[in-house]
Amino acid sequence: MKRTYVVIAAAMLLIGGGLFAEEATVIDFTLLDADSVSDANGNATQNGHTVMDYSTAAGATFTDSQKKLMKTSLALPEWEIDLNSSAKNPHAVGLSTIVAAPVKSEADVPFAGKNVMGVRILFPEWNANANAKIVPPFEIPAYEKLRTIDENGDKQVDANGNPVVSDADKEWKVNKPSGQTKTEFEDGYGVVKNVGTLKSIAVTTMGMNYPQGLYVMLKDTDGVERRYFMGYLGFDGWKTLTWTNPEYIPEVRTREIRIYPIYPRGLPFVKFTGFQITRDANQVGGNYIGYFKDVKIIYDKALLTSDRDIADEDLWGIVGKTEADRQSNEMSRFGDKQVNRYLEGAKQATESEFTSSLKKSDSTAAQTTGTTTNAQ
């Protein structure tokens, strides 16, 4: 009889260490090019695969034209830099930014000709411990359903109102293990599911001899965020920095085995919440420039699956209902934050200079001068 066994990842490797360990890409920044939602000049501004429409949280007071502008995505220029209190000042906030950095086509790397994440952070030049977090424009959702997005960033639906999915995703859904569903932000867009114990983490980054330290931040199913120290960035060129779990037990016989009910149990996951760049007080301050290609993990599976005699999820639908509720909560939090940002942006001054009260014909000597000083 075909069976499924569910155990904590610490007890998964039943036949030798590493048999069921897998490698997966948490996030690949070369996938995050802007390719949809064009601006007034016809330039794409958002990444079609990761577009999120937060107009559903905007309420009825906004016009349709305003709601069409309420979209964001994981396109690289949309990412943000969060400076801590020691590093945050108006000058540093204004200059710290993230861009899509093109890799030369003749570069000796597999991703030559593609865009990676380029980061500039302005750290204080005085002696002060400082750090900066590189974070996505919204918390990457773990339960966003598969969908197809058009060039305007709108979700495509069929006659019944269900999201349209690609042929590859349709094939996956037909052959899916019982109780599992694939979501939009898997496969290199920020989420990896069925993760038990992390064995190691790798970051592909280009160093430029800066002394700063690098952390990777991941959040698990329980909402617990952890950071992992990858090392220092004092090297030149592309390099893979690796964190190895010091508490990982490769020998199965010395592991603590725990058995859980087979169904219903949602798949444990990890999702990318950002990088953290740290600068020690005795290190050189000023500009930091860095480039990042991807983040990968090697992990033990949390769930071993095979075909079952009864399709539990199709019969009971417990996991689907739980994930739908979580997705709804995620969208609510995300939408409220983005709507507030939209309102703040709408209130910003658009004028760059004053309208002169003096006409040129009044006096050839009349002129407008401007100075920039700090308010007292």
pLDDT digits (tens, 9 = 90+) for 61-108: 777 766 666 788 999 999 999 999 999 999 999 999 999 999 999 999
Residue 4 lies in a domain: no
Residue 297 lies in a domain: yes
Query: Mean per-residue pLDDT for 115-123?
Result: 96
Per DSSP, what are the bridge partners of residue 122? 287
User: Which are the contacts of 252, defined by CB distance < 8 A and separation ≥ 6?
Assistant: 11, 13, 14, 16, 17
User: Which are the contacts of 28, defined by CB distance < 8 A and separation ≥ 6?
Assistant: 188, 189, 293, 294
Q: Can you give the pLDDT at residue 308?
A: 62
Domain span at 298: 19-32+79-144+183-305+316-340
Proportion of the chain above pLDDT 90, given as a percent:
40
Residue 260 lies in a domain: yes
C-alpha to C-alpha distance for 268 and 266, rounded to whole angstroms = 6
**pLDDT at position 30 over 60:** yes
140-151 residue pLDDT tens: 888 777 777 777
Q: Can you give the pLDDT at residue 21?
A: 74
Proportion of the chain above pLDDT 70, given as a percent:
74
Residue 354 lies in a domain: no
Calculate the dihedral angle through the C-alpha atoms of 24, 28, 34, 37, rounding to the nearest 10 degrees: 30
Q: Can you give the pLDDT at residue 161?
A: 63
**Residue 87 exposed, middle or buried by CB count within 10 Å (0-12, 13-18, 19+):** buried
**pLDDT at position 330 over 90:** no
**pLDDT at position 7 over 50:** no
H-type alpha helices, 347-374:
none
Would you tell me how many other CB atoms lie within 10 Å of the CB of residue 296? 20
b (16+ CB within 10 A) / e for 24-57: bbbbbbbbbbbbbbeeeeeebbbbbbbbbbbbeb
C-alpha to C-alpha distance for 221 and 105, rounded to whole angstroms = 39
**pLDDT at position 257 over 80:** no
Residue 371 lies in a domain: no
Mean pLDDT score of the chain, rounded to an integer?
A: 80
Residue 294 lies in a domain: yes
Q: Can you give the pLDDT at residue 301?
A: 87
192-203 residue pLDDT tens: 988 988 999 999
Reported residue count of the chain is 376
Confidence label for 239 from pLDDT (cuts 50, 70 and 90): very high
As for how many domains the chain has, the answer is 1
Query: Mean per-residue pLDDT for 313-328?
Result: 76
Per DSSP, what are the bridge partners of residue 276? 133, 215
Q: What is the CATH number of the domain that holds 256?
A: 2.60.120
C-alpha to C-alpha distance for 124 and 132, rounded to whole angstroms = 11
Q: Can you give the pLDDT at residue 111?
A: 95
Residue 198 lies in a domain: yes
CA-based nearest residue to 340, from 23, 13, 58: 58
Q: Torsions phi, psi of 325, nearest 5?
A: -65, -40
C-alpha to C-alpha distance for 163 and 146, rounded to whole angstroms = 7
Residue 49 lies in a domain: no
Q: Which residue has the higher pLDDT, 365 or 204?
A: 204
